[in-house]
Amino acid sequence: MAPAFVRRRRGAVAGAAVLVWCSSASAVAPTWSETVSSGPVSATLTTTYGNAADAMLRADDLELVVTRQGGGTPAKWHGRAFAPWGPEQAIVSRAGAVRVVDVTGDGEAEVLVDIYTGGAHCCSVSYVAWRADRSPRYRMRGVRWGNIAPSLIDVNADGALEFVGVDDRFAYAFGPYAVAEFPARVWSLAKDGPAVTTPRYHSYAMAAMRSSWSIFLAHRRRGDPTMGALAAYLANASNVGGVAVRGGWARARRVTGASGTRTMQTIEHRLRGWGYRTR
């Protein structure tokens, strides 16, 4: 499970319905669009689809146009720009598919398009369009969040919003998804797009570490598999850094004992490969 302070997203986007794609020559393909504005920035998402008000929109048929009054070059993306991971269809709720939000807190709004690729769990994807360093040209980058879509939160009350979610690599790494636990993960919008910045937010990482230890103990009391919960705790300890890393691993080894040596070795090998500190 995800920490209590992270909203978990499974299966499908709330409010989205599924369109059975009609290949009949008599089917009419109307155009659907949504326009959202904030200050001088305006974004319009357009697509054609079969015959439903709420629909499974084809990712290779989406078109996004971003304009800015008073400066900035209009930008347009369409087709395969919205399907870099291969799906031909994406679930998009008619309401809220496009967001125009000042993510960086500098008074200039950015544009986000949120889609879901479909399937039992995966994947939530956001496309972020922004002007790096006040360049006249917009850039866009897609970020695959995985099973759980992040929330936009001002973690440290500095006026900038962060993408607050989890490290989705833990989904099946240490057991079935039903018993998976995830460490907290934070992304900040940098000049090259969203970048992982979790260790910057020490208080948040500390809260995540404490929460994940409680979750591990709860798994243990119930007799559930605990490897995933323990791995999430140690990853959160890495995000805190310093003595939390050494103390976290010492604590985990005391609890698992000699019988848990192989478990600890498996966790250490995987976390090191992902760039987490283990010492």
Residue 201 contacts residue 157 (beta carbons within 8 Å): no
Answer whether residue 269 shows pLDDT above 80: yes
CA distance 211 to 218: 11
What is the per-residue pLDDT for 26? 39
pLDDT: which is higher, 46 or 55: 46
Q: List the structure tokens of 242.
A: 């310093």
Beta bridge partners of 216: none
Identify the sign of the CA torsion 233, 235, 239, 241. positive
CA distance 66 to 63: 10
Residue 121 contacts residue 10 (beta carbons within 8 Å): yes
Count H helices and E strands in the chain, helices first: 4, 14
Q: Which of 11-25, 44-58, 69-83, 234-248 has the lowest mean pLDDT?
A: 11-25
What is the per-residue pLDDT for 133? 77
Q: Convert the pLDDT of each residue in 130-147 to its tens digit.
A: 998 778 899 999 898 999
What is the per-residue pLDDT for 158? 96
Average pLDDT over the chain, rounded to an integer: 83
Question: Phi and psi dihedrals of 261, rounded to 5?
Answer: -60, -45
Q: What's the pTM? A: 0.84
Q: Convert the pLDDT of each residue in 169-196 to its tens digit.
A: 999 999 999 889 999 999 999 989 999 9
* Local structure of residue 222 (DSSP, 8 states): H
